[in-house]
Amino acid sequence: MSLMMLYLPALLLIALFLFSAIKILREYERGVVFQLGRFWKVKGPGLILLIPVVQQMVRVDLRTIVMDVPSQDLISRDNVSVKVNAVVYFRVIDPKNAIINVEHFYEAISQLAQTTLRSVLGRHDLDEMLADREKLNDDIREVLDKQTDAWGVKVANVEIKHVDINETMVRAIARQAEAERQRRAKVIHAEGEQQAAEKLVQAAKLLGADPRAIQLRYLQTLTEIAGERSSTIVFPLPMDLVEPMLARLKQEPTG
């Protein structure tokens, strides 16, 4: 029993040594190993052996990280106050730079995404935020990706989720949309009237080219009137019949 108690501290020391020396990294993990405080190498995945006290390791996840950017208050280029939030997709491609070049890269990217969101969207009008989100997403992603390149981080995508505006501006936009619909309706109606007038002028020129065409049109009109159920029928007289009669009346001497 005394012999067991004698070797127990040694066994505990060996167990602690093995526990601190043996590390297992998953397929999506890498270990940034420092030796006496200086960068040594990036290791993993699989079984990693470290020298206790002399070597330390920092785990880095290489999977795509989804970051929710909190809602940001900003003023658009046309002086409209809006609240915008977004989501950023990024992943670590260089574990060494992600650990050495920046402290807590996740928090750094979060702060950078918030300031970039306000900066980029503040240069655009409200209509562009609502209608051209794909281009704005690309602009924000390019800015973030350029600044995070030194951190060993690749920004894959940025998506604007919501653009919230106050009730007063919502009503103003609704009135503007209604006015735009009325304007389009009036334009379409005016274009229809113009086309109809042009067709009538063409028809009048075609009928005026041949008097027989006018007679045929007159007879067709009488046929249509006769087919209607009406107690009173007015027969229009063609002007080519009336004009000779008027001319003769003017030629006859008065009293």
Please report the DSSP string for 139-187 in residue order: HHHHHHHHHHGGGTEEEEEEEEEEEEE-HHHHHHHHHHHHHHHHHHHHH
* Contact predicate 200/194, CB 8 Å: no
- For 87-139, what is each residue's pLDDT tens digit? 999 999 999 999 999 999 999 999 999 999 999 998 988 888 888 889 999 99
Residues of the chain with pLDDT under 70: 1-11, 15, 168-174, 177, 207-222, 224-255
Q: Which residues contact 65 (CB under 8 A, 6 or more apart)?
A: 89, 90, 91, 106
Residue 213: both structure tokens together: 């065409």
At 121 the three-state DSSP class reads helix
* Contact predicate 57/41, CB 8 Å: no
The CATH number assigned to the domain with range 65-165 reads 3.30.479.30
pLDDT at 146: 94
pLDDT at 213: 63
pLDDT at 126: 84
pLDDT at 89: 97
The structural domains of the chain, with segments of one domain joined by +, span: 18-61, 65-165, 176-226+236-247
pLDDT at 226: 66
Dist. CA 44–CA 25, nearest whole Å: 6
For the entire predicted model, the pTM comes to 0.65
pLDDT at 148: 94
